[in-house]
């Protein structure tokens, strides 16, 4: 069986099982299986299995995707801001919408020379790592309640290529276990012998309403509930983060959230509830022109 024949067979298997983007997933898995780029795969499409087992391992992976396991978990990697990251079933899979959140954070970083950032709910670590790869002099503390997610984040952070590039930017990242703010003050005191506040608090928290969870695509349901379920109204984590945020956020600092497309008005109300002025809250839309990122400025009185 040649490469193009194996891909065609895989596409048929996936389509017969109503898997979305069957052709794309079959090709991505083949690229990973043969360690080839898209261009190399096209060039070598008439060749046989260079791994020598007539695509047996490839079709094992296709069977996993057929059973609604996200292909990113199957190959153990995903891409974000052009960088490759390790992912597994303990973390949310990076999505294009989150690149908008990071892009807005990078703009805010440009306003400050030496900057302290707090990321709440690091998951794979992609937000903190992307910021540190693209800007200099960042001091980032990332927190997550899941030790398994922190293992993934630290694995991505400690990849030699990324670690060296971050050090060259004179930036630091530390990931710790904390239920939102619970362990932050103690950690800051240990590191700095005094309390400091953050210039930016950034988070892509779970924001799907509990009642909607069962309506998600089957492959999305394979991702951890902890990273998806935002409670009955989808706002529980925004509320918890904003409630104590002024204790940790500098004057003229920013909070940046990724939000669901229909949560803008709810976030405006929450921000006002916890002392942020309406005129200091803005919203950025995504590639499909839906509300996606909320930016809250902690303006001086």
Give CA–CA dist 197/147, Å, rounded. Answer: 25
Output the CA–CA distances (angstroms, integers) from residue 160 to 84, 163, 264, in the order listed. Answer: 13, 5, 39
Question: For position 113, what pLDDT does the model report?
Answer: 66
Phi/psi for 259 (5° steps) reads -130, 165
The pLDDT of residue 190 is: 56
Evaluate whether 280 touches 299 at the Cβ level (below 8 Å): yes
Distance CA 276, CA 139 (A): 25
What is d(CA 195, CA 134) in angstroms, rounded to the nearest whole number? 27
What's the rounded mean pLDDT across residues 41-69?
A: 92
Tens of pLDDT, residue by residue over 261-295, are: 889 999 999 999 999 999 999 999 998 899 999 99
Question: Which range, of 117-126, 179-188, 213-222, averages the lowest pLDDT?
Answer: 213-222
- The dihedral over CA atoms of 231, 237, 238, 241, expressed in degrees to the nearest 10, equals 160
Taking the C-alpha atoms of residue 105 and residue 127, their distance in angstroms, rounded to an integer, is 9
| Contacting residues for 67 by C-beta, under 8 A, at least 6 apart | none
Residue pair 129/154 in contact (Cβ under 8 Å)? The answer is no
Statement: residue 297 has pLDDT above 90: yes
Q: What is the mean pLDDT of residues 114-139?
A: 94
C-alpha closest to that of 138 among 162, 174, 189: 174
pLDDT at residue 71, rounded to an integer: 93
Q: Are 122 and 203 in contact (CB under 8 A)?
A: no
Task: Using CA atoms of 169, 80, 108, 163 in order, give the dihedral in degrees to the nearest 10.
Answer: -20
Render pLDDT for 203-253 as a digit per residue (tens, 0 to 9).
Answer: 998 877 777 767 767 777 666 777 666 677 878 899 999 999 999 999 999
User: Please, are residues 106 and 127 in contact by the beta-carbon 8 Å criterion?
Assistant: no
pLDDT of residue 225: 73
Whole-number Å distance between alpha carbons of 230 and 18: 28
pTM value?
0.86
Q: What is the pLDDT of residues 157-177, one digit of tens each?
A: 998 889 999 999 999 999 999
pLDDT value at residue 66:
95
Q: Could you give the CA distance from residue 87 to residue 91 in angstroms, rounded to a whole number?
A: 6
pLDDT score at 299: 84
Instruction: Tell me what pLDDT residue 59 has.
Output: 96
Query: Tell me, what's the pLDDT at 274?
Result: 94
Q: Is the pLDDT of residue 112 over 80?
A: no
Return d(Cα 14, Cα 27) in angstroms, integer. 12
Query: For 62-66, what is the mean pLDDT?
Result: 96
Nearby residues of 64 by Cβ (< 8 Å), 6 or more positions away: 74
Q: What is the mean pLDDT of the chain?
A: 89
The proportion of the chain whose per-residue pLDDT surpasses 90, expressed as a percent, equals 71
Residue 53 has pLDDT above 90, yes or no: no
Please state the rounded mean pLDDT for residues 74-95. Answer: 92
Q: For residues 143 and 121, is the Cβ–Cβ distance under 8 A? A: yes
* The predicted structure's pLDDT at residue 241: 95
Residue 46 has pLDDT above 90, yes or no: yes
Whole-number Cα distances in Å, 189 to 55, 150, 184, 185, 193: 55, 21, 9, 6, 5
Residues 69-89 have a mean pLDDT of 93
Cross-sheet strand order for the sheet of 249-258: 172-177, 138-144, 115-120, 198-203, 249-258, 291-297, 281-285
């Amino acid at each position: 069986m040649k490469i193009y024949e194996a891909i065609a067979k895989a596409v048929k298997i996936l389509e017969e099982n109503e898997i979305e983007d069957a052709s794309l997933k079959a090709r991505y898995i083949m690229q990973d299986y043969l360690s080839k780029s898209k261009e190399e795969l096209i060039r070598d499409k008439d060749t046989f299995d260079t791994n020598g087992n007539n695509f047996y391992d490839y079709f094992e992976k296709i069977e996993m995707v057929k059973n609604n396991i996200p292909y990113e978990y199957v190959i153990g990697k995903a891409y974000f801001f052009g960088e490759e990251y390790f992912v597994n079933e303990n973390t949310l899979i990076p999505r294009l919408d989150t690149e908008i959140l990071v892009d807005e954070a990078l703009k805010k970083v440009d306003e400050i020379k030496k900057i302290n950032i707090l990321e709440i709910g690091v998951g794979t670590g992609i937000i903190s790592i992307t910021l540190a790869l693209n800007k200099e002099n960042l001091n980032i503390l990332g927190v997550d309640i899941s030790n398994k997610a922190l293992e993934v984040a630290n694995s991505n952070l400690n990849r030699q290529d990324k670690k060296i590039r971050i050090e060259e930017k004179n930036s630091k990242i530390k990931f710790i276990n904390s239920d939102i703010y619970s362990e932050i003050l103690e950690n800051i005191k240990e590191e700095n012998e005094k309390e400091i506040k953050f210039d930016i608090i950034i988070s892509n928290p779970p924001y799907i309403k509990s009642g909607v969870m069962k309506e998600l695509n089957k492959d999305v349901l394979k991702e951890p509930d902890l990273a998806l379920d935002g409670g009955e109204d989808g706002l529980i984590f925004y509320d918890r983060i904003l409630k104590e945020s002024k204790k940790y956020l500098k004057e003229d600092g920013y909070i940046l959230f990724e939000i669901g497309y229909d949560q803008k008005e709810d976030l405006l109300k929450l921000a006002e509830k916890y002392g942020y002025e309406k005129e200091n809250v803005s919203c950025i839309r995504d590639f499909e022109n839906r509300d996606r990122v909320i930016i809250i400025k902690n303006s001086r009185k």
